Amino acid sequence: MTAQKKLESRVLEIIQQDFPISLRPYEELARQLDSTEEEVFDAVQGLRRKGVIRRLGGSFDSRKIGYKSTLVALSVPRNRLEEVVEFVNSYPGVTHNYEREGKYNVWFTLIAESEKAIEQIIEEIRAHTGVPVLNLPAKHMFKIKVDFDLGNTDE
């Protein structure tokens, strides 16, 4: 494994659970990794360019800060995927947007300040796109923590 690949792999393992909350997080990561701030930052940017990292940011329990959320599914014709997804993604409360097989092929989580706001956004999406929309609010919440073991060794 090249030194760059090893650094990228080690950075990924750390930032999954313990991204430093500080004014200079990459400097703190560099200390942990016996590297430089610039090398760590470059490794993260390289991983983003490759599509390994799509988003780097905080994750909050929206319910605990008074927000509501729901799962939404759309049935989008293949030739309109890009257009519809671009519109859906224009809403700041849209997260975890992904394509699936089947009739309902675009799925995303929608977070807003109230059920009424969620209903309004869903209606706007329905009206603008003209595609079938399912609102699938959770009946029970199950939170599963996932960390990816990248098989690093300190060889």
- Cβ atoms 69, 57 nearer than 8 A: no
CA 73 → CA 41, 87, 96, 140, 149, distances in Å?
A: 36, 14, 12, 18, 30
Written in H, E and C, the secondary structure of 96-112 is: EEEECCCCCCEEEEEEE
The predicted pLDDT at position 151 comes to: 62
The predicted pLDDT at position 18 comes to: 84
Look at residue 61 and tell me whether its pLDDT is greater than 80.
no
pLDDT in tens, 120-143: 999 999 999 999 999 998 877 666
Residue 155: pLDDT band with limits 50, 70, 90: very low
CA 99 → CA 36, 66, 85, distances in Å?
A: 38, 29, 9
Look at residue 154 and tell me whether its pLDDT is greater than 60.
no
Look at residue 148 and tell me whether its pLDDT is greater than 90.
no
> Which comes out higher in pLDDT, residue 95 or 87?
87
For 15-102, list the strands marked E by DSSP: 68-74, 94-99
For the chain, list the strands marked E by DSSP: 68-74, 94-99, 106-112, 133-136
> Which comes out higher in pLDDT, residue 124 or 1?
124
pTM exceeding 0.85: no
Mean pLDDT value of segment 105-121: 96
pLDDT in tens, 39-58: 999 999 999 898 888 778 77
> Which comes out higher in pLDDT, residue 62 or 132?
132
